Copies of this chain bind each other. A is one copy, B any other.
C-alpha cells in the first residue's frame, strides 16, 4: 500500500508530534529507535518532510525535529503520504494504465473507485493530533 519510506514518515511524524506537545525536539536517532526504523534512512525521510513544510528542523546544538503545536491538529495523513509517495495512490490506475478515466476505464476502474474514495477520505480526515493522542493514551503502538 504505502512504501517503507512512507510508513516510517507517518510513524516519525506521530512521535515528533507527541514530543512537540511537551516542547521537546527529537533526533533521528531517538525517532528511529522509537519507531523501529533504520536511522540514516529515516533521517532522509525527515529531510523530505521538512522540505514539504510538514515538520520543522532546528540545526545545531539543542536542535532536532519538531512540529508546531498549533499545526498538529491540522496536519492530515494525506499530506504526509502525498509528500513521500506522491499522489499515485489517489490518481494512479489500479492496473497501471497511463490513461484511465471514466471515458477510458481499465477493467477494475469502477470496482476500485469505492475503495480508493474511502482511502482518500480516511487519509484526508485523519489528523496527526488524533494519531498522537492514541499513542499517548496507550490505545495504539508505534512498534511491535
Chain A residues in the interface with B (C-beta under 8 A):
1-2, 4, 7, 10-11, 14, 77, 89, 92, 94-100, 104-109, 111-112, 114-115, 118-119, 122, 126, 131, 134-135, 139-144
Least Cβ distance of A45 to chain B in Å? 13
Partner of A118 from B97, B114, B126, B135 at Cβ < 8 Å: B114
Nearest Cβ on chain B to A96's Cβ, whole angstroms? 4
Q: Which chain B residues lie closer than 8 Å to A106 at the CB level?
A: 140-142
Whether B2 and A97, one on each chain, are in contact in the complex, defined by CB atoms closer than 8 angstroms, is: no
Q: Hey, which chain B residues are within 8 Å of A131, CB to CB?
A: 107-108
Work out how many copies of this chain go into the complex: 2
Would A104 and B141 count as touching, CB distance under 8 A?
Answer: yes
Q: How far is the CA of A135 from the CA of B139 in the complex (A)?
A: 47
- The list of the 9 closest CB pairs from A to B, nearest first, reads A99-B144, A98-B144, A107-B131, A7-B96, A107-B140, A115-B119, A97-B144, A7-B95, A105-B140
Which residues of B are found within 8 Å of A94, using beta-carbon distances?
A: 1-2, 7
User: Is A122 a contact of B126 with CB atoms below 8 Å?
Assistant: no
Nearest-Cβ distance from residue A34 to partner chain B, whole angstroms: 12
Across-interface contacts of A14 in B (CB, < 8 A) = 107
Given the known interface contacts A1-B89, A115-B118, A115-B122, the answer about A11 and B107 at a Cβ–Cβ threshold of 8 Å is yes
The one of B1, B4, B109, B111 that contacts A1, using a Cβ cutoff of 8 Å: B1
A111 CB to nearest chain B CB (Å): 5
